[in-house]
Amino acid sequence: MSMPAMKSEASTAVLPAAAAPAAVVTMTPKRTPATEKYLKLAKDAAVRVVPPLVVLALLLLFWELACQRAGSALPPPSRVFKDTKELIFDPFFDRGGIDKGLFWHLSASLQRVAFGYSIAAVVGIALGTLVGQSVWAMRGLDPLFQVLRTIPPLAWLPLSLAAFRDGQPSAIFVIFITSVWPIIINTAVGIRNIPQDYRNVAAVVQLNPLEFFWKIMIPAAAPYIFTGLRIGIGLSWLAIVAAEMLIGGVGIGFFIWDAWNSSHISEIILALFYVGIIGFLLDRLIAVLGKIVTRGTSAS
Amino acid sequence: MTSYLKLDHIDKTFTRGSATTEVLKDINLTIEMGEYVSIIGHSGCGKSTLLNIIAGLTTATTGGVLLENREVNSPGPDRAVVFQNHSLLPWLTVYENVKLGVDKVFASSKTRAERDAWVMHNLNLVQMAHAKDKRPSEISGGMKQRVGIARALAMEPKVLLLDEPFGALDALTRAHLQDSVMALHQKLGNTILMITHDVDEAVLLSDRIVMMTNGPSARIGEVLEVPLARPRKRLELATNAAYLKCRQRVLEFLYERHRFVEAA
């Protein structure tokens, strides 16, 4: 009975002391008026947004001037906009077959990437852990990985077409095989760099291998793993466009190839713009995810 | 006679390629329940290796460690370690760091609520309950070490192993933490084995001081009883004759008879 009483005493004795300085600290920023804060935020945003916008405007102007001649091979931006207005403003149309809006093409590509990349993430982290943890697995597998990872993604495509006899799984396989190597290699480095201290702690506490994996290895190696995942997502987006050009069907890669075959150069330019933006967003997505997950680890 | 913790003829040699280095030679030591024993020696004398052997993190080449007459040769929560650089997991909060050990050790013997209360009880012992939701990167070095001590205490170890626990702290924080450890030892009666290279720390905290000769092939050179009544007060001891005599003995051992040879 006396124990809880003692404890509550101790915590109440400590709490006000801890709360007091915190209150003092937070008081000062709260005093600044809201408008001033928004002004500062707007200023920060402007500093980051304005320079790239200026450069973009200059580039568009240069492009417009360079391609204005009657016989120029590429259309100027104004032509691109005029030609692709329908595609820009109605990305959701679906007239059957491959005559669909850009949204459907992009979502088909993203789905393939999501499949291939998810498999690569799971397999990559698992193999990376094995190679990072076991000296023999490293000696046996690492040379193999070092050779295989240099094979260009598209070189795998004929082989996977032969194996799967279908475009869809082949494209997913190409995504997988492209993005898995950086995930494996970075995970392995992360696992190998887990400080001995953490291993000692786990040994004293007697964590079993599964607990050690989830509670020590994954969080300790998370910054490395996310580096690998970020490189991986970039590579898979690179590979999907090329792979889709070859396998056909719905997808942004095939859309570009189809536009080229029909000499719709403006559509190609629009598609490239979308590919760039989506690739950028995918990279940011993984980066933000990594930042959230590794909050604790990278802070030390 | 039976002793609580017994180090029995421990030798340790490291082999690297064809070269073998003998680090520890014929270490014999018995520690009674509730005793506070310090091991002191120059850096490189193998005292940390010895602690790792007791903790089970390293295996002795020959000889062994007996805890309550049972040989121990793998790590376990019955010999919890407070590491020199705190070794808190940076992705866990203070509370979760302590809970990690508690959940394993008391998985079947305590309910979830009891484990929670036990974690908080141990954080209270080291006066860290107020920071339970902070991450290690948000608290000071001394606070981290307090949490490290709480984590070790919470496993209810039979022997608490302290590996130069105050080495990385500034002098004032160190003194403060030493007082805390003394108070905890007084209150809980733990058996404690501490590695240190600080003479004052050893004399102030210990019942016995084990002095190691220089490596390679370090041995126990001398064991000194510290006949000072507890509780000990830092300020009063500064002029205490027995304290000064003990201090003198350790200093003589370290600096006259077993000077640190840098070339070695």
* Confidence category of residue A296, pLDDT binned at 50, 70, 90: low
- Minimal C-alpha gap between B16 and chain A (Å): 17
State whether A197 and B83 contact (CB < 8 Å). Answer: yes
CB A18 within 8 A of CB B138: no
B248 to chain A nearest CA, in Å?
A: 35
Is the model's pLDDT at B255 over the cut of 60? yes
Is the separation of the CB atoms in A143 and A185 below 8 Å?
A: no
Q: What percent of chain A has pLDDT over 90?
A: 60
| B154 Cβ contact partners less than 8 Å away, ≥ 6 residues apart | B98, B101, B102, B105, B118, B119, B122
Measured CB to CB, residues of chain A less than 8 Å from chain B are 3-4, 7, 10-11, 14-15, 17-18, 195, 197-198, 200-201, 203-207, 211, 215-216, 219-220, 222, 294-297, 299-300
CA B56 to each of CA A152, A169, A170, A199, B7: distance values in angstroms, whole numbers, following the listed order:
49, 51, 51, 13, 12
CB neighbour burial string for A143-165, b if at least 16 within 10 angstroms, e if fewer = eebeeeeeeebeebbeebbeeee
B122's CB contacts (< 8 A; 6+ apart) are: B98, B102, B150, B151, B153, B154
Percent of residues in chain A assigned helix, strand, coil, to nearest 5: 85, 0, 15
Given an 8 Å threshold on Cβ–Cβ distance, is A296 in contact with B81? no
3-state secondary structure of B196: strand
Inter-chain CB proximity B136 and A297 less than 8 Å: no
Per-residue pLDDT for B80 more than 60? yes
pTM equals 0.79
Q: Lowest mean pLDDT: which of A173-182, A219-228, A291-300?
A: A291-300
Provide the 10 A C-beta neighbour count for residue B11.
15
What pLDDT is recorded for position A198? 92
- Nearest-angstrom CA–CA distance, B86 and B146: 9
Indicate if the pLDDT at residue B76 is higher than 50.
yes
Instruction: Check residue A11 and give its pLDDT.
Output: 43
Cα of A16 to nearest chain B Cα, Å:
10
Q: How many helices (H) and strands (E) does chain B have?
A: 8, 10
What is the spatial distance between Cα B59 and Cα B49, in angstroms, rounded to a whole number?
Answer: 9
pLDDT attached to residue A72: 82
Write out the two tokens for A244: 């889709």
Main-chain phi, psi angles of B87, to 5 degrees? 50, 35
Q: What is the pLDDT of residues B119-129, one digit of tens each?
A: 999 999 898 99
Query: By C-alpha distance, which of B126, B226, B139 is closest to B181?
Result: B126
Q: Which residues pair with B62 in a beta bridge?
A: B11
Distance, CA of A2 to CA of A294 (rounded, Å): 41
Tens of pLDDT along B11-67?
Answer: 888 888 888 888 888 899 999 999 999 999 888 788 888 999 999 998 889 888 999
Domain boundaries, chain A: 82-294
Q: What residues of chain A lie within 8 A of the CB of B120, using their CB?
A: 7
The single-letter DSSP state of residue A262 is T
| pLDDT one-digit tens code per residue, B155-176 | 999 999 999 888 878 888 889 8
* Cα B104 from Cα A205, distance rounded (Å): 7
Q: What is the rounded CA–CA span in Å between residue A55 and residue B107? A: 62
- Say whether pLDDT at A132 is over 90: yes
- pLDDT greater than 60 at residue A130: yes
Rounded to two decimals, the ipTM of the complex is 0.86
3-state SS class at B162: strand
SS3 state of residue B160: strand
**Under DSSP, is residue A94 helix (H, G, I), strand (E, B) or coil?**
strand
Report how many Cβ contacts below 8 Å link chain A to chain B.
82
CA distance B84 to B165: 5
CATH code, residues A82-294 = 1.10.3720.10
**Residue B88 amino acid letter:** L
